[in-house]
Structure 1
């Protein structure tokens, strides 16, 4: 079981590495790691389990955040209609994106960053992602809104990029041109 102790913090060199592709088919160890990453997110959103194990609530996790420099991400979130979106992917890639931008009006957070960093993070409003699911099937998903932002945040981790790298350091709260502010 992954706990907060497994999550490396900002400043750790693995967070700045470009993660390596997972050789397919993935090993049993890689499959178990990806399942554990998804399980962590599910547990972190369950108030009783989160309190028992001291978990910070998360909606996305990339393997570099648990000090594994491989291209693996897990995402688990409920949308505004209470629909659950659950993904665990090997080698995810953004294959297309909108010209229109989006950003979270409250800014972004990260399980590897302990302090709040104010500022708007420019993202694409819509993206299409391809990857390989735990069962080995190819997945292609079109995403928008919060889900698109979470995928971009996690894929950035695979490329050694932190969310705050995108924030305008001179004017972090300046609204982003041609971008839609999202509440969640």
Structure 2
């Protein structure tokens, strides 16, 4: 089981490396890693399990955050609407790639956080409001999906991790809460 002790923190060199593409079909070890990453996210969102194992809640995790420089990410975004148990998206993505994106940008009102960053980093993180993404699942099947708003932001955050980019690299250094007029702020 993955815990917070397995997640490397900012300053670790692996977080700044461009991760290697996985060769398909992926190995059993890589499949298990993907499943463990997704399970960590589910555990981190379960109040009882999170408290028992001292897990910070997360919606995305990239292999480089576990000191494994491979293009593998897991996302588990719970349904936002009351009474809906189905996640918006719950997937392990092998070699994810953004193939197109909107011109319009969006950012989260609260800014972004990261399991590899133990401090608050105030500021807006502008990202594309809509993306089209391709990725392979653990069985090697190709998927193409369109995402917008919060799910699109989460995926871009995780793809940044496999490209050696941290979320705060996008924040305006002089004016952290300054954004262009055409940027949609999502609460």
With the length of structure 1 as denominator, give the TM-score of the two structures. 0.97
The match for 1:16 is 16
Match of 1:123 in 2: 127
What do residues 85-140 of structure 1 show as CA deviations (whole Å, max 9, x unaligned)? 20101000000000011000110000000001000001000001100011221111
* Cα separation, 2, equivalents of 1:156 and 1:176: 21
4+ residue runs of structure 1 moved beyond 6 angstroms? none
Q: Distance in 2 between matches of 1:63 and 1:100?
A: 29
> Which moves more between the two structures, 78-87 or 134-143?
78-87
What SS does structure 2 have at the residue aligned with 1:180?
A: strand
1:54 aligns with 2:58: no
Mapped partners of 1:177, 1:9: distance in 2 = 34
Match of 1:67 in 2: 67
Flag structure 2 segments of 5+ consecutive residues without an equivalent: none
TM-score, normalised to structure 2's length?
Answer: 0.96
Residues in 2 aligned to 1:67 and 1:138: alpha-carbon distance in whole angstroms: 26
2:25–2:139 Cα contact (<8 Å) kept: no
- Superposed CA RMSD in Å reads 0.8
Number of the residue aligned with 2:136: 132
Change (3 A) 1:108 1:74: same
The answer to whether 1:158 aligns with 2:162 is yes
Q: Secondary structure at the match of 1:130?
A: strand
Q: State the partner residue of 1:167.
A: 171
Aligned position for 1:108 = 112
State how far apart, in whole Å, the 2-side matches of 1:158 and 1:80 are.
27
Q: How far apart, CA to CA, are the structure 1 residues paired with 2:181 and 2:110?
A: 17
TM-superposed CA distance for 1:174, in Å, is 1.1
Match of 2:94 in 1: 90
Gaps of 5+ in 1: none
Q: Residue in 2 aligned with 1:142?
A: 146
